[in-house]
């Protein structure tokens, strides 16, 4: 049986994280993703960590992860000839993903109006920090900026310190998921006989309605005029992240309907006789909260994190261990579900990568292909697909077109 997106042809102009992540998701489920890199390569090729801590454009862990299952060509859109070549490629594509500044593609003569003239069913996905329109459209935005403006940074951290950024590039990764979803929806309409579309995706807006308490907080503010605030660490007894003997756990104990089971688990069934038992956790008296928290922490200091979670889950108490990268790589559950794939790369060597997240009963899961070398498929595309000969290709290289 064919893969889910087999036959969908994607041109990926985007660099960094959000656009390449969207392209990676499409490629993992069968789309033919051709990565169009500037002659110097995607900016993520310069982002570490690198194999052996030695910077190299073919060993960036970020690039290797984001660009599996794709092909790569080099092409400069700063040249007139490069833009003409791009238009030829776009005429045969179903989807284009880009993250240029608002209006930049149109100024180069390759905007949506031009691209859709030959292909009215084309889907163009444009990713920018703040969108193609509006008073902020020309603002620049980094990960921390976009988490601050659109995401949950306001409610992260402790009340006595500045707000804390979530690690990594979660805003851009989530934006990539949103873009991939929008592309699939637009292509579904095309497959049903409809027209293509121009997807205007702002990273900021993908964040504003995303992530649990942020979305709830926006709704609450709209109805009640109340905004969320950061809580003190351990402000609710037996709720939230706590240290165990070998790491940390997050077990929802205090104030829940399974609180009595937690008290039995930590060896304090006597606390069920206290007048505060059965109240919401915010209603505990300081003395009762101190007894609960002290006994809970004492139990955790004697219990490995995975064992603590297993015992809690066996009693119906929600909880999970906080796993490090090393924990994830050795975790028997992830291993049992085939979450990791070993991939060999001619420069970076062999390593394990997190595999596709969806397991489908009727759809094959072919082995993942490694990330492409810079311009690895130039000959394949320029010779075989566009009809250039060796002399023409040498001329394009000499003029900085490819």
Q: Do 142 and 45 reside in the same domain of the chain? A: yes
**Residue 89 domain-assigned (yes or no):** yes
* HSE toward the beta carbon, residue 93, CA cutoff 13 A: 24
Domain termination residue (choose one: 308, 329, 350) = 329
Q: Do 68 and 188 reside in the same domain of the chain? A: yes
Q: What is the largest CA-CA distance in the chain?
A: 88
pLDDT of 183 higher than 70 = yes
Average pLDDT rounded to a whole number, residues 150-164: 74
How many whole angstroms separate alpha carbon 315 and alpha carbon 192? 49
How many whole angstroms separate alpha carbon 100 and alpha carbon 93? 19
Domain termination residue (choose one: 301, 329, 357) = 329
Name 325's Cβ contacts closer than 8 Å, sequence gap at least 6. Answer: none
Q: Do 49 and 175 reside in the same domain of the chain? A: yes
pLDDT of residue 364: 79
Do the beta carbons of residue 59 and residue 37 sit within 8 Å? no
Domain residues for the domain of 273 are 241-329
Count the domains in the chain. 2
Do the beta carbons of residue 370 and residue 344 sit within 8 Å? yes
In this structure, what token pair is assigned to residue 359? 């397991």
**Residue 290 domain-assigned (yes or no):** yes
Torsion over CA: 112, 113, 116, 120 (sign): positive
Q: Do 18 and 160 reside in the same domain of the chain? A: yes
pLDDT of residue 121: 97
Q: What is the DSSP string of 317-330?
A: --EEEE--HHHHHH
**Residue 219 domain-assigned (yes or no):** no
Do the beta carbons of residue 375 and residue 74 sit within 8 Å? yes
Range in 44-48, 139-143, 223-227, 385-389 with the lowest mean pLDDT: 223-227
Give the CA angle between residues 209, 215, 220 to the nearest 5°: 135
pLDDT of 102 higher than 90 = yes
Burial annotation 89-126 (CB, 10 A radius, 16+ → b, else e)? bbeebbbbbbbbebeebeebebbbeebbeebebbbbbb
Burial annotation 353-391 (CB, 10 A radius, 16+ → b, else e)? bebbeeeeeeeeeeebebbbebbbbbeebbeeeeebeee
Average pLDDT rounded to a whole number, residues 121-142: 95
Q: Do 115 and 194 reside in the same domain of the chain? A: yes
**Residue 130 domain-assigned (yes or no):** yes
**ω into residue 249 within 30 of 0, thus cis?**
no
Cα separations in angstroms, 287 against 237, 244, 293: 11, 23, 10
Average pLDDT, the chain: 91
Average pLDDT rounded to a whole number, residues 173-194: 96
Do the beta carbons of residue 25 and residue 358 sit within 8 Å? no
Question: Which CATH number belongs to the domain containing residue 205 in this structure?
Answer: 3.40.50.10540
pLDDT of residue 217: 65
Q: Do 172 and 124 reside in the same domain of the chain? A: yes
Question: Which residue from 233, 234, 231 is spatially nearest to 292, judged by alpha carbons?
Answer: 234
Q: Do 325 and 261 reside in the same domain of the chain? A: yes
How many whole angstroms separate alpha carbon 204 and alpha carbon 136? 10
**Residue 16 domain-assigned (yes or no):** yes
pLDDT of residue 215: 58
Q: Do 30 and 132 reside in the same domain of the chain? A: yes
Q: Do 15 and 142 reside in the same domain of the chain? A: yes
Q: How many residues does the chain have?
A: 402
pLDDT tens digits, 189-227: 999 999 999 999 999 888 876 655 555 666 666 666 666
Q: Do 123 and 161 reside in the same domain of the chain? A: yes
pLDDT of residue 212: 52
> Helical H runs in 36-169?
61-66, 80-90, 104-107, 112-118, 143-150
Strand order in the sheet with 123-128: 70-74, 32-37, 9-12, 95-98, 123-128, 197-202
**Residue 382 domain-assigned (yes or no):** yes
pLDDT tens digits, 266-318: 999 999 999 999 888 888 999 999 999 999 999 999 999 999 999 999 999 99
Question: Which residue from 126, 121, 94, 116 is spatially nearest to 18, judged by alpha carbons?
Answer: 126
Q: Do 208 and 249 reside in the same domain of the chain? A: no
How many whole angstroms separate alpha carbon 186 and alpha carbon 125? 10
Q: Do 13 and 97 reside in the same domain of the chain? A: yes
Question: Which CATH number belongs to the domain containing residue 261 in this structure?
Answer: 3.30.1540
How many whole angstroms separate alpha carbon 374 and alpha carbon 42? 9
**Residue 297 domain-assigned (yes or no):** yes
Domain termination residue (choose one: 306, 329, 352) = 329
């Amino acid at each position: 049986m064919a893969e889910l997106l087999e036959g969908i042809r994607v041109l990926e102009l985007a660099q960094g994280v959000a656009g390449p992540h969207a392209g990676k998701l499409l490629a993992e489920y069968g789309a033919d993703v051709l990565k169009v890199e500037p002659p110097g390569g995607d900016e993520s090729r310069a982002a570490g960590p690198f194999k052996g801590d030695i910077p190299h454009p073919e060993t960036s862990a970020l690039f290797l992860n984001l660009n599996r299952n794709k092909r790569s060509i080099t092409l400069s859109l700063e040249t007139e000839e490069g833009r003409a070549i791009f238009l030829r490629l776009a005429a045969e594509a179903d989807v284009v993903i880009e993250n240029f500044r608002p209006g930049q593609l149109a100024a180069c003569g390759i905007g949506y109006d031009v691209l859709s003239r030959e292909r009215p069913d084309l889907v163009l996905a444009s990713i920018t920090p703040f969108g193609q329109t509006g008073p902020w459209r020309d603002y620049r935005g980094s990960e921390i900026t976009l988490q601050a403006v659109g995401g949950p940074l306001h409610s992260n951290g402790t009340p006595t310190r500045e707000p804390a950024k979530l690690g990594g590039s979660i805003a851009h990764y989530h934006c990539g998921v949103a873009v991939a979803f929008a592309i699939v929806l637009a292509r579904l309409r095309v497959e049903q006989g409809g027209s293509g579309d121009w997807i205007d995706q702002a990273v900021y807006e993908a964040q504003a309605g995303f992530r649990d308490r942020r979305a709830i907080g926006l709704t609450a503010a709209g109805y009640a005029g109340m905004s969320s605030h950061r809580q003190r660490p351990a402000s609710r007894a037996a709720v939230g992240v706590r240290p165990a003997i070998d790491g940390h756990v997050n077990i929802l104990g205090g104030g829940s309907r399974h609180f009595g089971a937690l008290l039995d688990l930590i060896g304090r069934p006597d606390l069920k006789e206290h007048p505060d038992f059965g109240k919401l956790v915010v209603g505990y008296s300081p003395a009762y909260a101190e007894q609960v928290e002290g006994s809970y922490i004492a139990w955790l200091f004697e219990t490995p994190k995975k064992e603590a979670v297993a015992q809690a889950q066996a009693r119906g108490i929600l909880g999970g261990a906080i796993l490090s990268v090393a924990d994830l790589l050795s975790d028997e559950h992830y291993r049992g579900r085939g979450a990791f794939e070993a991939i060999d790369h001619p420069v970076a060597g062999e390593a394990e990568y997190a595999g596709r997240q969806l397991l489908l009963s009727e759809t094959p899961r072919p082995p993942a292909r490694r990330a492409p070398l810079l311009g690895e498929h130039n000959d394949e595309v320029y010779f075989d697909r566009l009809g250039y000969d060796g002399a023409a290709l040498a001329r394009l290289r000499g003029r900085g077109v490819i």
